Structure 1
Amino acid sequence: MRIFITGATGFVGSAVAKELMGAGYEVLGLARSDEAVKSLSAAGVQVHKGDLEDLESLRAGAANADGVIHTAFNHDFTKFKDSTETDRRAIEAIGTELAGSGRPFIVTSAIGILPQGHLVSEETEPVTGPHSRGLSEQTVIQFAGKGVRTSVIRLAPSVHGEGDHNFIPNLIRLAKEKGVSAYIGEGSNRWPAVHRFDTAHLYRLILEKGIAGSRYHAVAEESIPFKEIAGAIGRQLNVPVVSLSPEEAGNHFGWFTNFAAMDVPASSQLTREQLGWQPSYPGLLEDISLPHYY
């Protein structure tokens, strides 16, 4: 069985490719550069040239596969409007190619697009707006009624593990630059988290068992107070751990301020019950105490 993966060279996508190949799948990876071609080839992944804005390349990749896993997303938050529209168009192109086939199509979304301040579940509807990833969720779910076995996987804000280059490394960089590891107010806002390899295994379970039109949560730990994350980083760097007012937070965190204030505790109970997923890798606080983060 051949699976087409967008973002197959990324932190999550490369782990998914490895998980699938270890289970006997063939993997076809989207590559937009010579560097990506070399990386995929070295990992034993078949190469399909193209990118997210080349819709014909996406349709061709989907046509040449028994299923599609879409992990690619441009995380340049200064271009978030363009990124979400590119994502929606890519999903629409792939879904149209798969229509009527009954083949699986797994699309990556984020816990962070859900309403904040209370525990959310797989059944919680995303916050939607003109440039929200919630529109991507709506787009892919629609194809469940068009003969595609669509699923959405929402990733926790911290998908952690060796090779991480996202939120936790940014917090570590800020702590090094500023000389303090900071949180906002009481630091009681909560982040869910999941290890990269537990996430990869969940993608495979969804591929094999996912129900059309379903949403799943890649959440191993549903509620970690941000103060504890800041504290773990401060201990490793031997810098003070400090509380900032909302006004001070902007100067410290910059573009990351909204993420540092994010309060999205999330359950994965339905995901575990439906798919038998049991995360087994180290939790976030244990992982960020290891040398590979520093």
Structure 2
Amino acid sequence: MRIYVTGATGYIGRALCQRLAAAGHEVRALVRSAARTEPLTAAGVTLCPGDITDRVSMREGMSGADWAIHGAALLSAHATLAEMRAVNVAGSENVASLAHKLGVGGLLSIASVAAFGGSPEDGSPATEESPPRLPFPTPYSQTKHEGQRAIEAWARQGLRLRTVYPGLVYGPPGKKEGANVVLRQLLLGRFPVLVGASRRSSWVFLDDVIEALVAVLERGEDGRGYLLAGEVVTTRELARQVAAISGRPAPRRELGVGTARLLLALTAPFWHLTGRKPPVPTAQLASLTRHWAFDDRRAREELGWTPRPLADGLPPTLAYLARAE
């Protein structure tokens, strides 16, 4: 198949392009610059300069595609809501509208569990049919939801659409990509305290996400969304697993989100004077008040997908992160 991919130089997009090219597909990757493209060219992927915020720039690369896979997004704790909307909402609208206009065979949207705004407060896992938790805790969460709604509007106009919602994605390569950032900080002992230790979140291995994406392309159902949650654990449980595998101590102190917010407010002058960014932006703390537990039974049952548990995914990831230092 001829497949057009946005977000191709990102953590998931790069691995997906390599996997698709290795399977013999003709892969065209939308890239904003030549930076980080060497793994793509080495895999035989065709580079298509452009940006999802520029609809015209995508026309040539997307033309004639059997599938378009949309994974590009702006994920920054320091970006404004307007900046996020320009990429995650307007950019998604550009991809979907162009795919519809060009008659692309189908669009696979790589969304995020962030689009749900969290899971129920009682800690039970949300499903694909669960309503979003309002208000959205972060601009990223809000704009991923709005962007997916913009894509779905084009599906109602006839665009063939399939969607995946990955949880926290970890695994090599990329020591500062995906949820590897959190694991690396735990490994290096840079979390003196755990904030939101009892909050539950969903951890899924990168290779398993890629296999799920391929499965959705091959045998997913049109109009269907698939949560890719992996294993659900509390932050406290995750830290203990990392400590047990690495032999390094887990953080011994825990801090409530309210206290953490107060401390950040009190230290704001320091961050301003030094020009440095705080370890956790105040706005980002809101996400730590939510559970992010999701049920991926649909993907397991309908796609035959079997993600590995943390007990199998953490050892190679932590070994990779230790070597990468």
Q: Which has the higher mean CA deviation after the structures are superposed, 31-40 or 20-29?
A: 31-40
1:180 and 1:240 in contact (8 A); partners too: yes
TM-aligned CA deviation for residue 280 of structure 1:
4.2
TM-aligned CA deviation for residue 275 of structure 1:
2.0
Name the structure 2 match of 1:271.
299
1:219 and 1:268 in contact (8 A); partners too: yes
1:110 and 1:155 in contact (8 A); partners too: yes
Is 1:166 the counterpart of 2:178? The answer is yes
One of 217, 220, 225 as aligned partner of 1:207: 217
One of 146, 156, 175 as aligned partner of 1:135: 146
Name the structure 1 match of 2:162.
151
One of 192, 195, 198 as aligned partner of 1:188: 198
TM-aligned CA deviation for residue 94 of structure 1:
2.2
Name the structure 2 match of 1:107.
109
Aligned counterparts of 1:175 and 1:282: Cα–Cα separation in 2: 15
1:232 and 1:288 in contact (8 A); partners too: no
CA displacement, residues 25-78 of structure 1 (integer Å, 9 cap, x when unaligned):
111111111224444212321110112222212233222421111111121121
Q: Which has the higher mean CA deviation after the structures are superposed, 143-152 or 234-243?
A: 234-243
TM-aligned CA deviation for residue 125 of structure 1:
3.2
Query: What is the TM-score of this pair, normalised by structure 2?
Result: 0.79
Whose strand fraction is larger, Structure 1's or Structure 2's? 1
1:4 and 1:68 in contact (8 A); partners too: yes
Structure 1's 35 and 168: CA in aligned 2 closer, same or farther, altered over 3 A?
closer
**Alignment identity in percent?**
23
Name the structure 2 match of 1:123.
129
Is 1:238 the counterpart of 2:240? The answer is no
Q: How does 1:75-90 map to 2 (within 5 A)?
A: 75-81=75-81, 82-90=83-91
Aligned counterparts of 1:73 and 1:241: Cα–Cα separation in 2: 35
1:91 and 1:136 in contact (8 A); partners too: yes
Structure 1's 55 and 36: CA in aligned 2 closer, same or farther, altered over 3 A?
farther
Structure 1's 181 and 232: CA in aligned 2 closer, same or farther, altered over 3 A?
farther
Structure 1's 170 and 273: CA in aligned 2 closer, same or farther, altered over 3 A?
closer
Q: Which has the higher mean CA deviation after the structures are superposed, 61-70 or 188-197?
A: 61-70
Code of the residue aligned with 1:58 in structure 2: it is M
Q: How many residue pairs were aligned?
A: 290
1:28 and 1:46 in contact (8 A); partners too: yes
Q: What is the Cα-based RMSD across aligned positions, in Å?
A: 2.7
TM-aligned CA deviation for residue 196 of structure 1:
0.4
4+ aligned runs moved over 4 Å, structure 1: 127-131, 174-179, 280-285
TM-aligned CA deviation for residue 102 of structure 1:
6.3
Aligned counterparts of 1:281 and 1:178: Cα–Cα separation in 2: 25
Q: Which has the higher mean CA deviation after the structures are superposed, 23-32 or 131-140?
A: 131-140
Aligned counterparts of 1:262 and 1:175: Cα–Cα separation in 2: 24
Query: What is the TM-score of this pair, normalised by structure 1?
Result: 0.86
Is 1:25 the counterpart of 2:53? The answer is no
Q: Secondary structure of the equivalent of 1:79?
A: coil
